[in-house]
Chains A and B, each alone.
Chain A
Amino acid sequence: MDRECCWDRDVITLADCPETGEGEEDLLSSKQQRILEKCCECPRFLDELKQLAGAVPPNPLAPVLATILPEFLRQKAQIQSLVSFLDNKTLEIRFLHELGSVLQSSVDLDEVLSVAMTAITAGKGFGMNRAFLLLCDREEGMLNGYLGLGPRNLEEARRVWGEISQNDMDLQTLAQNFRDTKLSSEREKFHDVLELLTIPLSNKDHIVIKALDGRRPIMVQGVFQHPDVPPELARLLGVDDFLLMPLISRNRRVGIILADNCITHRAITEADMHSLETFGFPVAFAIERASLYDKLQVELNRVTEAGKKLKEQQQLIVKMENMALVGRITSSIAHSVRNPLMVIGGFARSILKNSPASDPKRTFIESIVAETRQLEGVLDEVLNYSDSLYPTCDFWDVDQLVEASLRDTADALALLNYVTGYSPGLTLPPVYIDFKQLSYCIRTMLLNDIQGIGSDRSIAISSQSVEDGVILRIEDHSRHITQSELDHLLVPFSEPRDLGAGLGLALCKAMLEKQGLLFEARADQQTGIMYTITLPTRKEEQS
């Protein structure tokens, strides 16, 4: 028999077998492989098999072969289908692995969202045309349209998909690219849809809320006729069907993804839905983790800030304790000095009182009295200075403060022929001050013994309400010194004695600064001295 078929030859050429082509040269010298792969489907071989069955006498193996062959072909096709299925699953697992790695390694919410949205819309991912992400705000009871991704029209789709296929980027690079260049513009682009997709969680009739509450994906078909889809949303989306995939993490509703094929209009399949469902869990978990991390970061910043403040407070307490110690020492020394001083000065006065005017020793005793008085003055100031270390602030009325100070100094000023006047500002708010210290400061400014008294013995006080404070001005028209002389008086223990002032003004400055109040003293040799104090109306205004 002259066989057309080459099945029984050990080695053949490409021309011998119509089923073998370029690239399959290895089959030419492998008879067994060739029979398994090619001969079973080769018409020449099948013809020869028929001839074999019809031969006389008939070959007994021919009907056996005829039975085995179709079953072999069926099983071969099934294996090929399974291999193809496994290949697809392998690709899917690889993709999910890549996605999972990215999602698990990130705590940045924008990065997580970029990866998730890119995965849904990328051809290498789930290949949906467009996706919207909605996030739950449990405190506000809202589901907020947060992000949209995808083309809005065919032209844009061609351009974007063309760019992606040209660059052949992996998922992570695509997501990074999206995050860096498109995140905010995509939000802006889908602003109208995202606004419509901002829905109260209490709106149980809305299809999106139904999917979220049901915690299962829903494939919405016949969108325009669907009773639970608001017509405005259907119009804006412009698709017949879309997929809703709730994002649930540990039984908590994180948000929902709405995906559709607005450009290709490819029907969404059950397989799409199941793939996305698998993907939904890690995404929900990653979003929640990133959100928690954000919150944690905020809390951490707060704690850090609180720690910083606590440290400052501790330092302040240590400082105050040191100051308190200084205050106690000062006070103790002052007390120890005051009693002997009082005895010396007191007896000197007594002797002076009882000595005749002609007594030559009177001058000496007068000196003792004068020096004692001077020392007692210094002592009072030192004690006041140590008191000034601890201001006790509260809200006080400015008019009450000024009027009390004027009342206390009225007699002394009248003796010196001074005229005082107070012009209160309109509707002054209460100020947060240490009343006792402020009162002392005003009295000191009114009664200070600065020399250079002119003929105009008038002091004008005025108050004026400003933003977050009240400005108090004391204009003493009687004292005429230079600014540098006044500045000198404001430094504790460095005053030029010939100017006549003690620690008073420096103490005032220290007290006011201690309370965190703005204090300014301006001297003009022609017009006198003007003191300006800004009194805060709020606690926070003080340092």
Chain B
Amino acid sequence: MSRLLVVDDEANIRLLYAEELKDEGYEVVTAGSSAEAAEKLQHGVFDLAVLDIKLKNESGIELLQKLVKERHDMPVILCSAFSCYKDDFSAWLADGYVVKSSDLSELKQEIARVLAKKALKVKAGT
């Protein structure tokens, strides 16, 4: 079972992600801030992280940069209310980009795609 870390400052959205992604068969851990995410990352291993770009008084892009640097083996999907970040160079570091929607199909497809890619990479590495 893949372990996912969901970082979003909105509690209801974290709850929605958790419920929906659990239904898809993932183990989901949520964090409401960068600090909380860092703490969760310290105590556990995750297969993928889903990050909101705009966190309260924080930038998800900065967290993304940190994760790419420190956890380069963990793919990251950015999830944002703004489509414009898709064209932002700094967002290109992420493995996937999804615009927030009540229909989580796109997010679920993207998670599956990125995890499959990672699995292929691991397989190729071994």
What mask results when residues 329 to 352 of chain A are scored 1 for a CB within 8 Å of chain B, else 0? 001001100111111111111100
Q: Which residue of B lies closest to A387 (CB)?
A: B84
Q: Which residues in B have some Cβ–Cβ distance to A below 8 Å?
A: 10, 12-13, 16, 19-20, 23, 54, 81-84, 87, 99-104
Instruction: Report the Cα distance A339→B82, complex, angstroms.
Output: 11
Residues of chain B with a CB closer than 8 A to A343's CB: 10, 12-13, 16, 102
Mask of A371-386 contacts with B, CB within 8 angstroms, 1/0: 0110010001001100
CB-defined contacts of A376 to chain B, threshold 8 Å: 101-102
Which residues from 318 to 366 on chain A have a C-beta closer than 8 Å to any C-beta of chain B? 331, 334-335, 338-350, 353
Q: Give the distance to chain A from B2, nearest Cβ to Cβ, in Å.
A: 20
**What residue in chain A is nearest B17 (Cβ atoms)?**
A346
Q: How many A-B residue pairs have CB under 8 A?
A: 59
| Known A-B contacts A335-B82, A350-B20, A383-B82; A372 and B100 likewise in contact (beta carbons under 8 Å) | no
Chain B residues, CB < 8 A from A335: 54, 81-82
Whether A349 and B81, one on each chain, are in contact in the complex, defined by CB atoms closer than 8 angstroms, is no
Q: Is the CB of A372 within 8 A of B87?
A: no
Given contacts A346-B104, A349-B103, 4 further A-B contacts (CB under 8 A): A338-B81, A339-B10, A339-B13, A343-B102
Residue of A nearest to B20 (CB): A350
Pick from B10, B54, B82, B102: contact of A345, CB below 8 A.
Answer: B102
A369 touches which of B16, B54, B102 (Cβ 8 Å): B102
Known: A334-B81, A335-B54, A343-B10. A373 touches B16 (CB 8 A): no
Q: Is A436 part of the contact surface with B, judged by Cβ < 8 Å?
A: yes
* Chain B residues, Cβ within 8 Å of A344: 102
Residues of B within 8 A of A348 (CB): 102
Contacts of B104 in A (CB 8 A): 346, 349
Chain B residues with Cβ under 8 A from A349's Cβ? Answer: 102-104
Interface residues on chain A, size class: 20 to 34
The answer for the CA separation of A436 and B87 in the assembled complex, in Å, is 10
A350 to B84, CA, bound (A): 28
Q: In the complex, which residues of chain B have a beta carbon less than 8 angstroms from the beta carbon of A380?
A: 83, 99
Q: A383 to B99: give the CA distance in the assembly, Å.
A: 12
Among A343, A372, A380: residue with most chain B CB under 10 A: A343
Question: Chain A residues near B84 (CB, 8 Å)?
Answer: 383, 387
Q: Identify which of residues 475-532 in chain A touch chain B, using a CB-to-CB cut-off of 8 Å.
A: none
CB distance from A349 to the nearest CB of B (A): 6
Closest chain B residue, CB of each to CB of A347: B16
A346, B102: Cβ atoms closer than 8 Å: yes
Given contacts A331-B82, A339-B10, A346-B20, contact A373 B102 (CB under 8 A): yes
Give bound CA distance, A344 to B84, whole Å.
23
Closest A residue, CB atoms, query B105: A349
Which A residue's beta carbon lies closest to that of B16? A346
Q: Which residues of A contact B87 (CB under 8 A)?
A: 436
Provide the A409-443 mask, 1 if CB < 8 A to any CB of B, else 0. 00000000000000000000000000010000000
